[in-house]
Amino acid sequence: MPEQSVVPIDQILPNKLPLVALMGRPIFPGIFTPIMIGNPVDVKVIDDAVSGDGLIGLVMLQNETETPAIGDLYQVGTAAKIVKKINLPDGGVNIFISTLKRFRIKKALHASAPIVGAVDYLEDEEDDTAEVKALTRALISEMKQISENNPLFSEEMRLNMINIDHPGKIADFIASILNIDKGEQQKILEVLNVRRRMEQVLVFIKKEQELLRIQKRIQKEINEKIEKSQRDYFLKEELKAIKTELGMTTDAKSSEYQRFKEKIEAFKFDGEIKETVEQELEKFNLMDPNSGEFIVTRNYLDTIVNLPWNDPGPENFDLKNAREILDADHYGLKDVKARIAEYLAVRKLRFAGRNGRDVQAAGKAASPQQRAQEKKYPAGSIICLVGPPGVGKTSVGRSIARALGKQFFRFSVGGMRDEAEIKGHRRTYIGAMPGKIIQGLRITKTKAPVFMIDEIDKMGVSFQGDPASALLEVLDPEQNFSFRDHYLDLPFDISQVFFIITANTLDTVPSPLFDRMEIIELPGYIDMEKLEIARRYLVPKSLAKNGLKKGQVRYTKDSLLHIANCYAREAGVRNFEKNLDKIHRKLAIEIVEKDEKTGPSAEEGALHFAIDKKAVEKHLGKPLFQEDVIKRADKPGMSLGLAWTSMGGDTLVIEAASSPGKQELTLTGKLGDTMKESASIAMTVARKAGIETYGVAPEWFEKNQIHLHIPEGATPKDGPSAGITMATAFLSLLRGKTITDHLAMTGELSLTGQVLPIGGLKEKTVAARRNRVKSIIIPKQNLRDLDDIPDHVKKGITFHPVERFEEVLALALPG
C-alpha cells in the first residue's frame, strides 16, 4: 500500500526524462512506494537512472503490449526519484521511489524502448476557498469511516492522511488507496484543478461506502445462517442425548430401521431371502444418512417390506355369483366364461377342501409337503384372449377380477423394447426400480391378483433386450414359483397370479411364449350381437357419460341396426360407441340451448328423444356403408372369398379379366408373396380343368393375357386361403358363367386340386353373415371348427365341406 512521501526534493527537475511504462495503475505525486521491474529494457533504464540523477518518469500504458512505444502511453505521468534499488535473483529489480510531480509528454526524444521524452511539469490550480476547505474536511471524515470498518487501512495510513496539509495531495493520496478502476485513476491524475479533483475523489469514496454497506449486509446474513445452523445442530444433539437417556428412538433413521426390522421379522423369512434381507438391514443401520447409498438401500428395503410375501388366506368361491357377474358385464363370450368357471371349480376343489374340511386351516401354516405339491401344480392360470380390436378383451379382465373377488392390475407391453420393464433394473443403476410384475404385486398387496398384460403381439426387440423372452419365465408355471426380478434379486413366488394376456393376432407372438398360454379366441360381433350389446351396455354408458338421463333417449331396433350396418361395420363395437357418443353430444346441445332460452325444465318437462333411422342420419350424416351395397360376384370372372385380418373377418371380391396378347398372368391389389404363389397354383389348376373338363383350346391361353385383381388395392393382403376362390374366378372367366349367388368360399388349394384347411373360420363366418352370404364352401378338415362357432352366427348359413376342387366347381359353377 503506498504511503505519503516524506523525502524532500529540492533539486531542479530536468526537461527530459527516461520513461517507464506501468502495466497496472498510475502512481500519484507525493507517494513513497516500491515497484517491481522485470522487463530487461526497463531494468537498463533504472540502472542508468541510478548511476545518474536517479530521476525517471512513470506513465501508464493505454493498451498492454510487450514492446511499448511512446504512442502506447498516456500523455500525463508522474516524475519520481529512485530512493533505493534491490537486485532480484531472476534479473529484475525492486525499487523504492518517491514521486514528485505531474508532467505531460511534450515530445518524443526516443520513441521506442528505451523511451525518452521531453516533458512539461504541471502545477496544481490552487483555489483557496471555503469550498475547498469543506471538501478537505469531507474527504478526511468520509475516509475515517471507511478506514474504521476496513482492516486493510493501517493506522500509519490514517496518520499520514491527517498530517497532509495540501488539499491536492490529500486527494492524490486518497485516490491512490481507493479500489478504483485504473482508467478512472488516470483521469483523476490528469485533473489539475484541485477542487474538481477533490469532488471526483469524494464521489468514489461514496461508491466505496455503498459497496462496504452491501458487503456488511451480506456478511451479516451469512453469519446469521451459520449461527442458526450451529444452533440447530447443538439442539438436535441435545435432543438426541435426552432421547437416549429416556430410551426413546433417537432419530428418523433409527425409526426406519425399527420399522423395517419389525416387518421383516413378521414375514419369517428363511434361506437365501433371510440372509440377504438381514445383510441389507444391518448395512442400512451402519450407513450415514447423508450418503448416496443410504437412499438406495432404504428404497430396496422399503420395496421388500411392501411386497406380499405371505400366502393369501382361504378364498370365498361362489361359482354362481361369478357367472352372474360375467353375464352382467359382457354379452356372449361363452368360451371365456366357461374357462373362468373351470378355473374357479379347480381352485375350489384344491383349496377349499372336500367334505367341508379346509386344506389350510385358519392359523395353521401349510406343511412342506403341501407347499411342494402346490409348486408342482401351480395355483395360477394363463389365458390369452385373441381377437380384433373393440370386442372387449381388455374390459373382460376387470370383470374376471371382480368375479373372482381379486385385485386387478393391468399394464400394456405394446411397443415395449426393454426387458427391464418386465424384470426390473439392477440396483447398480441410478434410479433403478423393479419391473412391472413386482410393481403390480406391491400395488395390489396380494400374492394372487389378476394381471392383465395387454397387446402382447406388439412388443419389439432392441439393443436393450427382448421383452418377449423376459416373459417366458413369468408365464411358465414350471419356473414362476421362484421368479427373480433384477432389482429384487430374490426368488419370489408368482405362481398364484392369474395372468390374462390379450392380442389382436398370434402371428408375431414367439412360439415358446405361445406354448405357455391357453388360447381363447374372441370372434367379431354380428349385427344382432351389436344390437344386444348396445341395448344392455353401450347406450346406458354413453347416456351417463354425456350427462343425459336414463329413459331420456330411446332407440328403435332398426336405428341401432342401422348404426351397426351403415356406420360401424367393423368386428368390434368401439366405433359403435363413438357414434352413440356423437348422437348424444348433439342431443346435449339441443337440451342446453332450450334451457338457456326457457330456463331449466323440471323432470317431467325435460326433453325426450326417440331415435329412428332418420334421426340417426340427421346426427351422423350420410351412411359410410350403404346397406344395399353388398359384395356380390355377379359377373363372369368374379368370385367371393373370405379373409381373416387382425380387425376381424372380411369378404373379398376377386376379379379376373382377359384380353388378347402374349400369355401372361398379371396380379394386382397389393398381394403378398404367399398370395402370389397361391394365384399361380390357382391358374395352373384352372387351366388344366379348363382344357380337360370344359374343352377350352390350349391356344386360347397362348393368345390371351389374364389379369387378376382384388379390390381395395391400398390394403395389403396375404395368405393361402384364397386359393380355391381365385381358381373359381379363373374358371368363371373361361366359361363365361357367373358363380352361384350368395356363395362365398375359403380354402387353400394344392397343385393336385386338394382343398387344404385354413384358419380363422369363426371370424370369416361372422364376415359372411354381415355380407348376407347364404352358403360357404369350407375345407372338410375344418368341420371341427364349426363346433366353436355360436349357433346364432351359423343360423341361416349352409356350410359345404369339400376335399377336392372338383367339388368346389360343382357347387360354384353347376352344370
Please name the helix (run of DSSP H) or strand (run of DSSP E) that holds residue 667, with its range, or none: strand 664-668
Q: How far apart are CA 339 and CA 519, in angstroms?
A: 11
Residue at grid coordinates 459497496? 211
* CA end-to-end span of the chain: 125
Q: At what angle do helices 334-351 and 393-404 cross, to 10 degrees?
A: 30
DSSP state letters, 129-154: SHHHHHHHHHHHHHHHHHHHT-TTS-
154 has catalytic annotation? no
> 545 is written with which cell numbers?
357419460
Residue spans of beta strands (DSSP E) within 354-467: 381-386, 408-412, 450-454
Residue at grid coordinates 398379371? 666
> Using an 8 Å Cβ cutoff, are 431 and 392 in contact?
no
764 has catalytic annotation? yes
Burial of 222 (0-12, 13-18, 19+ CB in 10 A): exposed
> 541 is written with which cell numbers?
354408458
Beta bridge partners of 643: 650
Q: How far apart are CA 504 and CA 459, in angstroms?
A: 12
**Which one is catalytic: 5, 721, 732, 762?**
721
**Which one is catalytic: 393, 631, 762, 764?**
764
Exposure pattern of 566-590 as b/e (b: 16+ CB <10 Å)? bbbbbbbbbbbbebbbbbbeebeee
At 87, is the secondary structure helix, strand, or coil? strand
> Using an 8 Å Cβ cutoff, are 674 and 718 in contact?
yes
Q: How far apart are CA 732 and CA 726, in angstroms?
A: 10
DSSP state letters, 9-57: --SPPPSEEEEEEESS----TTEEEEEEE--HHHHHHHHHHHHTT-EEE
Strand pairing report for 483-484 and 450-454: unpaired
Q: At what angle do helices 252-267 and 292-305 cross, to 10 degrees?
A: 30
Catalytic residues: 721, 764
